[in-house]
Amino acid sequence: MKILFAASEVYPLIKTGGLADVAGALPFALAGLGHDVRIMLPAYKQVLEAIGNHGAVFPLGDPFGTGAMRLIESAMPGSDMKLLLLDCPQLYDRPGGPYQREDGAEWPDNDTRFAAFSHAAASLADTGNPAGWQPDIIHANDWQSGLIPAYLEFQGNHAVKSVFTIHNLQYQGRFSRDVLDRIRLPQSAFSPEGLEFYGDVCYLKSGIFYADHITTVSRTYANEIQTPEFGYGMEGILQARSERLSGIVNGIDTAIWSPQNDPFITRNYTSRSLGRKAVNKAALQAELGLPELAGAPLFGVVSRLVEQKGIDLVLEVIPDIIAMGAQVAVLGTGDARWEKAVRQLAEQNPAMSATIAYFEDLSHRIIAASDMFLMPSRFEPCGLTQLYALSYGTAPIVRRTGGLADTVLDIAQDKNGTGFVFDAPSAAALRGAVRRAVAHYKDAPAWLKLQRNAMKQDFSWQPPAREYIKLYTSLLK
């Protein structure tokens, strides 16, 4: 089977969130099952600098009047996984991030930038395309590639099937109606039975409406987004397409996230050598300036500092955590008000460390060293950090929502439990889960069993990759 995986960010080339981790790992798992997989990504300035030399170049003309576009064939770093880069300097050769300028404002031409990306991906469905390779399946991801199914529909390429994955329904890619003339889609597409959404052109809705199948990144989230609470106005169309909607929980790249061989942590360990985890805890306490107390429970937070992630709940509960004799290590960036609040609370409490930045290596050390991991998200399509925590024997404390509900089993509900789960998005509910966790921590044999329960879970990409291949195969029958 020939599969094109189209994404606006791919780790390790460029990353702003979990999509990059998925796009940098799932295609490899699919290829490992014997399929011909290629990744497609815009040729951002940073990406071109990272790949250096490249192979063949395929011209695509100038369909959007933004200058000549071309596909550059390269490979993912350190592998033979083929990478197709859409090169158009006027659209992608600029400083800043993939979606935003250096000052944090969104690029004003994002409508054209990602329409061009979707158009180029869909053009590979033509038998005579310049690259000389035609996929059977195009797997699009989030609003930035949401127009791919629409282009396939209006180009009449029905033999090539499309799968559209929603990683976060909150981000929708909405633009004014006049964008249609610029992005080479007919006015007839501007309809409730199309990509019109409350008077706007919506790239996310395009993916939902036109794709042959829609997936989300957990089973619970697939159900949640069909309700007004989590649907962001899309619940109606998702209900209408529910027979073409499924949830497949993300995996993690176990070559990168494994306590057994992680190069970023002080001492490697397994579920049979969990005593070595204490070495990582002591080293992190020293690194972050926390009191070096082996018996003090250490709570880790590696997160975007935004209300969706429940950072306000964490801040409200931290004084109680410290009063229990525990410590807290926070790593992340986000909204300025929450960054300031985290900083101020850390300055007032010697048992709390705050790093307002993001360092990949430090995220590994915090997860490896912590005893518990706080993740009280108000909603969470899948979540990856709780999977990392489980793999490192760090007990997650999570709200029962989305992928958190699908991946963390409360120890109070099952002897094979892996963490602590609460329901209400409130500080009181989080505080109750924290108290349960600290009480459980004091029972050393019970805590060791919980850690081993967590570490024996299989969160590699092989199970979800097999589910995707089953889905692709059903679409091609």
DSSP annotation of 401 reads S
pLDDT at site 204: 98
The CB-based long-range contact list for 56-60 (8 Å cut-off, 24+ gap) reads 57/87, 58/129, 58/130, 58/131, 59/130, 60/86, 60/120, 60/123, 60/130
Question: Looking at the structure, do residues 204 and 102 belong to the same domain, yes or no?
Answer: yes
Residue pair 138/131 in contact (Cβ under 8 Å)? The answer is no
Whether a cis peptide bond, with omega within 30° of 0, leads into 12 is: yes
Residue pair 147/36 in contact (Cβ under 8 Å)? The answer is no
**Both tokens of residue 462?**
């092989």
Domain membership of residue 308 (yes or no) is yes
How does pLDDT run across 325-353, given as a tens digit for each residue?
A: 999 999 999 999 999 999 999 999 999 99
Cα distances from 213 to residues 164, 238, 244, 386, in angstroms, run 6, 11, 5, 27
Q: What is the mean pLDDT of residues 386-390?
A: 97
User: CA end-to-end span of the chain, whole Å?
Assistant: 12
Pairing of strands 213-216, 161-166: parallel
Q: What pairs with residue 106 in β-bridges?
A: 100
Pairing of strands 36-42, 2-6: parallel
| Per-residue b or e along 145-169, where b marks 16 or more CB atoms closer than 10 Å to that residue's CB | bbbbbbbbbbeebeebbbbbbbbbb
Question: Looking at the structure, do residues 202 and 329 belong to the same domain, yes or no?
Answer: no
Pairing of strands 196-197, 200-202: antiparallel
Domain membership of residue 62 (yes or no) is yes
Domain membership of residue 264 (yes or no) is no
Q: Per-residue DSSP letters for 187-253?
A: GGG-STTTTEETTEEEHHHHHHHH-SEEEESSHHHHHHTTSHHHHTT-HHHHHHTGGGEEE------
What sections of 328-443 are H helices per DSSP? Answer: 336-348, 360-369, 385-391, 402-407, 427-441
Question: Looking at the structure, do residues 351 and 466 belong to the same domain, yes or no?
Answer: no
**Both tokens of residue 139?**
């797997």
| High-pLDDT (> 90) share of the chain, % | 95
The rounded mean pLDDT for the chain is 96
Q: For residue 30, give the CATH number of its domain.
A: 3.40.50.2000
Task: Name the pLDDT band for 53 (thresholds 50, 70, 90).
Answer: confident
Domain extent for 311: 274-455
Task: Name the pLDDT band for 303 (thresholds 50, 70, 90).
Answer: very high
| pLDDT exceeds cutoff 90 at 17 | no
Question: Looking at the structure, do residues 217 and 336 belong to the same domain, yes or no?
Answer: no
pLDDT at site 123: 96
| pLDDT exceeds cutoff 90 at 18 | no
**Both tokens of residue 160?**
């090539």
pLDDT at site 409: 98
Residue 342, Cα to own-chain centre: how many angstroms? 24
Q: What is the mean pLDDT of residues 205-212?
A: 98
Question: Looking at the structure, do residues 241 and 302 belong to the same domain, yes or no?
Answer: no
Pairing of strands 69-75, 2-6: unpaired
How does pLDDT run across 67-78, given as a tens digit for each residue?
A: 999 999 999 999
Specify whether the backbone of 61 is left (phi greater than 0), alpha (psi in -120 to 50) or beta.
left
- Spatial distance between the Cα atoms of 400 and 46, rounded to a whole number of angstroms: 38
DSSP annotation of 290 reads -
Instruction: Name the amino acid, one letter, at 317.
Output: V
Domain membership of residue 258 (yes or no) is no
Domain membership of residue 257 (yes or no) is no
Instruction: Name the amino acid, one letter, at 115.
Output: A
Question: Looking at the structure, do residues 103 and 184 belong to the same domain, yes or no?
Answer: yes
| pLDDT exceeds cutoff 90 at 1 | yes
- How many domains are contained in the chain? 2
Question: Looking at the structure, do residues 442 and 467 belong to the same domain, yes or no?
Answer: no
pLDDT at site 428: 98
Question: Looking at the structure, do residues 471 and 436 belong to the same domain, yes or no?
Answer: no
| Per-residue b or e along 56-89, where b marks 16 or more CB atoms closer than 10 Å to that residue's CB | eebebeeebebeebbbbbbbbeeeebbbbbbbbe
pLDDT at site 52: 81
- Spatial distance between the Cα atoms of 316 and 195, rounded to a whole number of angstroms: 41
φ, ψ dihedrals at 366, nearest 5°: -65, -45
Question: Cβ neighbours of residue 325 under 8 Å, at least 6 residues apart?
Answer: 296, 297
How does pLDDT run across 447-470, given as a tens digit for each residue?
A: 999 999 999 999 999 999 999 999
Question: Looking at the structure, do residues 470 and 444 belong to the same domain, yes or no?
Answer: no
82 three-state secondary structure: strand
Residue pair 94/106 in contact (Cβ under 8 Å)? The answer is no
Domain membership of residue 261 (yes or no) is no
Instruction: Tell me which of 13-17, 222-226, 244-248, 344-348 is least confident.
Output: 13-17
Domain membership of residue 205 (yes or no) is yes
Question: Looking at the structure, do residues 120 and 191 belong to the same domain, yes or no?
Answer: yes
What sections of 235-354 are H helices per DSSP? Answer: 235-240, 277-288, 311-323, 336-348
How does pLDDT run across 129-169, given as a tens digit for each residue?
A: 999 999 999 999 999 999 999 999 999 988 999 999 999 99
How does pLDDT run across 75-98, given as a tens digit for each residue?
A: 999 999 999 999 999 999 999 999
Question: Looking at the structure, do residues 22 and 128 belong to the same domain, yes or no?
Answer: yes
Question: Cβ neighbours of residue 146 under 8 Å, at least 6 residues apart?
Answer: 118, 140, 164, 173, 202, 203, 204, 205, 206, 207, 208
pLDDT at site 252: 93
pLDDT at site 225: 98
Question: Looking at the structure, do residues 243 and 311 belong to the same domain, yes or no?
Answer: no
φ, ψ dihedrals at 79, nearest 5°: -150, 175
